[in-house]
Amino acid sequence: MKPDVLQLKALSPQLEAGLEAAYTVHRPYRAADPEALIGEVASKIRAVVTGGDLGVPTELWDRLPALETVAVHGVGLDKVDLDLAAARGIAVTTTPGVLTQDVAELAIGLWLSLSRRLVSADRYVREGRWPKGERLPLAWRASGRKVGILGLGQIGKAIAAMATPFAASIAYHSRRPVEGVPYAYHASPLALAKAVDVLFLVTPGDAGTPPLIDAAVLKALGEDGLLINVARGSVVDEAALVAALADGTIAGAGLDVFEDEPNVPQALLAMENVVLQPHRGSATVEARSAMAALVLENLEKHFTTTHSSSRP
């Protein structure tokens, strides 16, 4: 019999087709009564497939007594209770590596779009304001700026490599210095913000701890500073960011993630000094195809190993 899998959100057609072929898939988000569906199948669910933005809701863990593995379509684990999973012997997998370049590209794209005011200039043309001679504010030069990266993992290193032709210098902060990199290390987010003009956020989010980027860090980044967040909304004090953008504490922000997705503060929607994206760092044909294949591979390895180890 096919193992029973609980899929918590819509995913790519490639992944869903692969799941259908190998498993008995239950999708509560498609059901008229999601809670009733989960109640009917909970006792036989052996795997959960979810996204990094959703994770596994806290209330769901105790309802799945047969759960063996959680397959995350993405790299974010801030919404998966890893301590609980470890205590229950539940394997948790992600899709690292295959989306690194894509997220880094979007981060660089946000920086360039924000610096050169590409989005607002596009609106200026589309709305017919150019022939009317309306004034369009000047942009900022992207090259020659001091770049900081908060979180020098795979994606952070890819951003650093892509930024190198533009940047005057590159610095970073991680929990500890990273060996073998040529970039300056700063001991805290505050110290890093003081030293740079453009601050990229690529560090894992943790909803249980205070935001790493608060009003003090934003003030340190300064009135010419740009903030680019492709990490998690929980990394930033969103209210402090809105205030800093509104009063000129920083010059602008490029944001792919938010505190309460998909809800974006109305104040941000009205600002010209921000570029907004709907959490789509990995949203390329290439990355999503590779992510789907890796989710299926992770599940196959789990069930193959489990089945083999249970044989007499």
Q: Which residues contact 201 (CB under 8 A, 6 or more apart)?
A: 150, 151, 212, 213, 227, 228, 229, 230, 231, 235, 236
Cα–Cα distance measured from residue 286 to residue 230, given in angstroms and rounded to the nearest whole number: 19
Cα–Cα distance measured from residue 206 to residue 234, given in angstroms and rounded to the nearest whole number: 7
Annotate 19-34 with b (16+ C-beta within 10 A) or e (fewer): beeebebbbbeeeeee
Q: Tell which residue, 56, 57, 73, has the closest CA to residue 18.
A: 73
Counting other chains too, the contacts that 88-95 makes at CB distance below 8 Å and 24 or more residues apart are 88/61, 91/302, 93/69, 93/295, 93/298, 93/302, 94/52, 95/290, 95/291, 95/294, 95/295, 95/298
Active-site annotation holds for 30: no
Assess contact for 149 and 159: CB atoms under 8 A.
yes
Determine which one of 117, 186, 232, 302 is catalytic: 232
Q: Which residues contact 119 (CB under 8 A, 6 or more apart)?
A: 113, 275
Active-site annotation holds for 27: no
Active-site annotation holds for 279: yes
Determine which one of 261, 272, 286, 300 is catalytic: 261
Active site residues: 232, 261, 279
